[in-house]
Chain A
Amino acid sequence: MDSSTSHFSSDGSTALGTSSVPWWAVKLLGVAVSAWAVAALYTLQGNPEIAFFRRADALKREWSRAIGSGHTNRIIVFGGSSCLTSIVPRRMLEQHQLPTLNLGLGAGMGAQILTRYALDAVQPGDTLIVALEPGLLVRPSELEPLGVQFAVATGQPRLLSNGRRVDWLGALVGLRPGGYHVFTLLGKIILRQPLYRYARSELKEGGWHEVAARRDLGNPGVGKLTLSPEGKELLATIYRECQRRGVRVAYAFPWQFCVPEDLTATQREDLLFVREVAAVIPVLREPSLGAHAVREHFADTLLHPIGTAAALRTDELAQAVASWTVWTPEEVEARLSAGK
């Protein structure tokens, strides 16, 4: 038996008393609870990312109320930040007469929370456009801390339920910043940069985000996409839920930047992904097939269009929704064969 714990008795600073209460353990628990309380307070009140998404949520609710009074059969688009930055609700309404809610938030919240957020809003007769980033559908999905924090901060704990009972304790424990947030925050403070790269003033009417930041995008290359079992199950669940509730539903490929030389190859990879997705849920047939090769049309990431490009993306989606043309298996195969 190893006696490596002997320093407990030999070291004055860790000497243990003979009390009938394990005071040291109690104090440690107290330290943990206090640290958590401070972390939770920061998360709910001070975290600039959460504050940004709270503002986005408020604007979306405001817009929903505004269009809700005069319109039925709304278009509800949801996804991560590519959706948040791509679809302009006012343009959908005024240019295309499509009363639209952009329920895009941040991909960091995870597919589960984003989906529940949208499903909570749909009503019979609505059209639901699933614009989840492929990245969310090709890996196992889990409840992401940012999503948990958003759900609690906006008073929507039902977003955590995922059809089961809400894990309240887990949700409360999740109200902590985490290593990535703390380290980047410290880095920004040291480098005297803004605490969050996006300002709340970038959020426009309807909760659409017009990105002000710009960054060199480099050459992203062509990636292979394969639907994960969890992604497939999520899409199937969305489809079933929409069928049950009388909601029309389809998947729309988010726009992503690729260099012009890779456009054909990227669209071919995207089409292979469409083939997988279309086996579960209808996929809107859009000419871009998720690839957009104009570098100047993107802001700070491959998935964030600038304002003018968001208008183009909005128009493309509006036309696809209005005509409701979806890929058939035969068309996908024919297109793939033609591209060989």
Chain B
Amino acid sequence: MNFAELSFWEHLGVGLAIILSLRFVFLRIFPGKVEFYDKTALVVLGLALLLMVSVVAFVIYIALSVVTYVGLKWIQSRHPRHATKYLLVLVPMQLLPLFYYKYSDFVVNRVAGLDIETLRNLAIPIGISFHSFQLVGLAVDTLVFRHPIPSFLDSLIFGSYFPQLVAGPIERRADLLPQVERFRFRWRPRDIDEGATWIAVGLFFKCCLADNLAEYFHRGLANNAYQVWMANVLFGLRIYYDFAGYSLVALGLSRCFGIRLTLNFRSPYCSTDIGEFWRRWHITLSQWFRDYVYVPLGGGRVRFWALNILVVFIISGIWHGAGWNFVWWGVLHAVFLIIVRCSGKFVLPRPLAWALTMVAAFGAWLCFYELDTSVMLSKMAILLRPAAYSLSELKATMALYSPGDKIVLAGLGLLTLLTLGIEWLSVRRTDQPYAYLCKRPVVVVLVILTVLLAPGKNNGFIYFAF
């Protein structure tokens, strides 16, 4: 379900054509069954698109949905007074496939030191982290807040809604379920127009910026600070435009179907402290951790609030991948956030605060992309060594790029800076990220740039691996 691939749009178009043709016939025979037909068709469309990507992911998703629905039904009918206690059983069951595919090798083989071959190199089913968390959220919200259990069809749509099935946003019951319950296939020109704008901006982010930046990101065995920073910046920009691009296309596509999804990014590189960064980066995941981990731990009102932050960010790191590097990434961000909290009312000049935030955010990306912990630590040491910033090291870094590469990097850099500048203006003047990018003349330019500049390869989404 890769929005950057033509095949996705072909499959979606064919699927919709079949659904709408059958709808025409079905409603002639069963005129009162429009709600049933529309919801069933949406489920079938989502699951068919998932099945085309991965059979394993499809089977796991069905199993997870059934476990969630049956579990909720059983708990609410048999143990309504102790519903929240039974969450301690249901939630681990929901997370079991995620643990097996994503963490069993790390925990069993690398942490515990056992040598179980069958757990090595397990392919992570696409989207498992996202829909596992979304269904956990559904279970918790339903039982803790004593909401009625949605119908099986609605709960299936809630989990299998195709625009956000494989890479979020991780929607909450209160936001998505009411819209799902009202869902009908309707012709909504206004929504389609709005959705098309988001799709255009999203594809520009993904195909034009992220995919071109990907050509120049090389993890390599960088041995000087400039090379490491170059990789960090390229990776940081790439992952942002990759994931934000995906999220915007998901948002736009969903809008065409009349369902509003949560904006998952709000120009995070405009942030002036690391707390703000996390309020703008992968917002739905941050909110999930806040509501289901941080707040239950006591949040920021207890004496050990710093420990709570550390726990949340370590879990957040591990959510992204099973490896010590992700733990380091989480720890670094937790430390940055604790420092910001401790600095209290001490206010830095805005440009300096922004620069420090960017150094922290881009510096920490090293822990995200460098999977080998020893290499990661040695690169981190290089970044902290003043001697690594010599002129000769800079020349050595420049020599790595051919004249053609330098021109392309300069052009890409300018385009990215321009985009970031427009985002910054939007945030500063309207507090609506992407507002100026969504202006009609700008969108026309973005569409043209996407058509001309998209490289047509490297179009896999990074977050599909999570």
Q: Which residue of A lies closest to B448 (CB)?
A: A35
Given A4-B266, A25-B192, A145-B456, do A184 and B187 touch, yes or no (CB 8 Å)?
A: no
CB of A7 within 8 A of CB of B451, answer: no
Contact of B263 among A2, A19, A21, A178 (CB under 8 A): A2
Q: Which B residues are in CB contact (< 8 Å) with A14?
A: 197, 438-440
B396 → chain A closest CB, angstroms: 12
The listed residue with most B CB atoms (<10 A of its CB), out of A14, A23, A174, is A14
Name 25 interchain pairs, CB-CB below 8 A, sorted by A: A1-B175, A2-B262, A6-B432, A7-B430, A7-B432, A8-B197, A8-B438, A11-B439, A16-B193, A19-B189, A22-B193, A23-B189, A24-B193, A25-B196, A28-B200, A32-B451, A170-B6, A173-B456, A177-B452, A178-B453, A179-B208, A179-B455, A180-B404, A182-B411, A186-B407
Contact of B412 among A6, A39, A179 (CB under 8 A): A179
B16 → chain A closest CB, angstroms: 15
Those of B413-466 within 8 Å (CB) of chain A? 430, 432-435, 438-441, 443-444, 447-448, 450-457
Q: Which A residues are in CB contact (< 8 Å) with B141?
A: none
- The answer to whether the Cβ of A229 comes within 8 Å of any Cβ in the partner chain is no
CB of B194 within 8 A of CB of A8, answer: yes
Q: Which A residues are in CB contact (< 8 Å) with B455?
A: 145, 178-180
Given A13-B440, A14-B197, A25-B196, do A180 and B433 touch, yes or no (CB 8 Å)?
A: no
- The answer to whether the Cβ of B73 comes within 8 Å of any Cβ in the partner chain is no
The listed residue with most B CB atoms (<10 A of its CB), out of A25, A29, A35, A39, is A25
Contact of A31 among B410, B432, B448 (CB under 8 A): B448
Q: A139 to B139: give the CA distance in the assembly, Å.
A: 44
- The answer to whether the Cβ of B408 comes within 8 Å of any Cβ in the partner chain is yes
Q: A36 to B453: give the CA distance in the assembly, Å.
A: 11
Contact of B193 among A7, A23, A32, A169 (CB under 8 A): A23
Q: Which B residues are in CB contact (< 8 Å) with A16?
A: 190, 193-194
- The answer to whether the Cβ of A323 comes within 8 Å of any Cβ in the partner chain is no
Secondary structure class of chain B's binding surface, majority of residues: helix
A166 → chain B closest CB, angstroms: 14
The count of residues in chain B whose C-beta lies closer than 8 Å to any C-beta of chain A is: 52
Q: Which B residues are in CB contact (< 8 Å) with A22?
A: 189-190, 192-193, 196
CB of B266 within 8 A of CB of A183, answer: no
Contact of B212 among A32, A179, A186 (CB under 8 A): A179
Given A14-B438, A31-B444, do A180 and B215 touch, yes or no (CB 8 Å)?
A: yes
Q: A170 to B4: give the CA distance in the assembly, Å.
A: 12
Those of B124-179 within 8 Å (CB) of chain A? 175
Contact of A28 among B175, B447, B457 (CB under 8 A): B447
CB of B457 within 8 A of CB of A4, answer: no
Q: Which residue of A lies closest to B189 (CB)?
A: A22
Contact of B444 among A28, A144, A169 (CB under 8 A): A28
- The answer to whether the Cβ of A194 comes within 8 Å of any Cβ in the partner chain is no
- The answer to whether the Cβ of A176 comes within 8 Å of any Cβ in the partner chain is yes
Contact of A184 among B193, B266, B407, B456 (CB under 8 A): B407
Secondary structure class of chain A's binding surface, majority of residues: helix
- The answer to whether the Cβ of B10 comes within 8 Å of any Cβ in the partner chain is yes
Using CB atoms and an 8 Å cutoff, list the residues of chain A in contact with chain B.
Answer: 1-2, 4-8, 11, 13-14, 16-25, 28-29, 31-32, 35-36, 39, 142, 144-145, 148, 169-170, 173-174, 176-180, 182-184, 186-187, 218
CB of A24 within 8 A of CB of B197, answer: yes
Q: Which residue of A lies closest to B176 (CB)?
A: A1
Q: Which B residues are in CB contact (< 8 Å) with A13?
A: 439-441
B442 → chain A closest CB, angstroms: 10
Q: A209 to B379: give the CA distance in the assembly, Å.
A: 43
A218 → chain B closest CB, angstroms: 8
How many A-B pairs with Cβ below 8 Å? 136
CB of A1 within 8 A of CB of B408, answer: no
CB of A169 within 8 A of CB of B6, answer: yes
Q: Which A residues are in CB contact (< 8 Å) with B206?
A: none
Q: A203 to B440: give the CA distance in the assembly, Å.
A: 47
| Additional A-B contact list (8), CB under 8 Å, known A14-B440, A148-B456 | A5-B251, A5-B260, A8-B438, A28-B197, A182-B452, A183-B408, A183-B412, A184-B407
B69 → chain A closest CB, angstroms: 24
CB of A142 within 8 A of CB of B196, answer: no
Q: Which residue of B lies closest to A6 (CB)?
A: B432
Q: Which A residues are in CB contact (< 8 Å) with B451?
A: 32, 35-36, 39, 176
- The answer to whether the Cβ of B255 comes within 8 Å of any Cβ in the partner chain is yes
CB of A25 within 8 A of CB of B456, answer: no
Q: Which A residues are in CB contact (< 8 Å) with B196?
A: 22, 24-25, 28-29
Given A31-B447, A184-B404, do A179 and B260 touch, yes or no (CB 8 Å)?
A: no
Q: Which B residues are in CB contact (< 8 Å) with A186?
A: 407, 411
What 0/1 pattern do residues 72 to 85 of B give for CB contact below 8 A with A? 00000000000000
Q: A218 to B396: give the CA distance in the assembly, Å.
A: 12
Q: Which A residues are in CB contact (< 8 Å) with B457?
A: 142, 144-145
Q: Which A residues are in CB contact (< 8 Å) with B197?
A: 8, 14, 24, 28
Q: A174 to B207: give the CA distance in the assembly, Å.
A: 13
Q: A314 to B43: give the CA distance in the assembly, Å.
A: 62
Q: A170 to B6: give the CA distance in the assembly, Å.
A: 7
Q: Which B residues are in CB contact (< 8 Å) with A1?
A: 175, 260, 262
A304 → chain B closest CB, angstroms: 14
Q: Which A residues are in CB contact (< 8 Å) with B411?
A: 179, 182-183, 186-187
Q: Which B residues are in CB contact (< 8 Å) with A32?
A: 447, 450-451
Q: Which A residues are in CB contact (< 8 Å) with B407?
A: 183-184, 186-187
Q: Which B residues are in CB contact (< 8 Å) with A24?
A: 193, 196-197, 440
Q: Which residue of A lies closest to B9 (CB)?
A: A169
CB of A176 within 8 A of CB of B447, answer: no
Q: Which B residues are in CB contact (< 8 Å) with A39?
A: 451-452
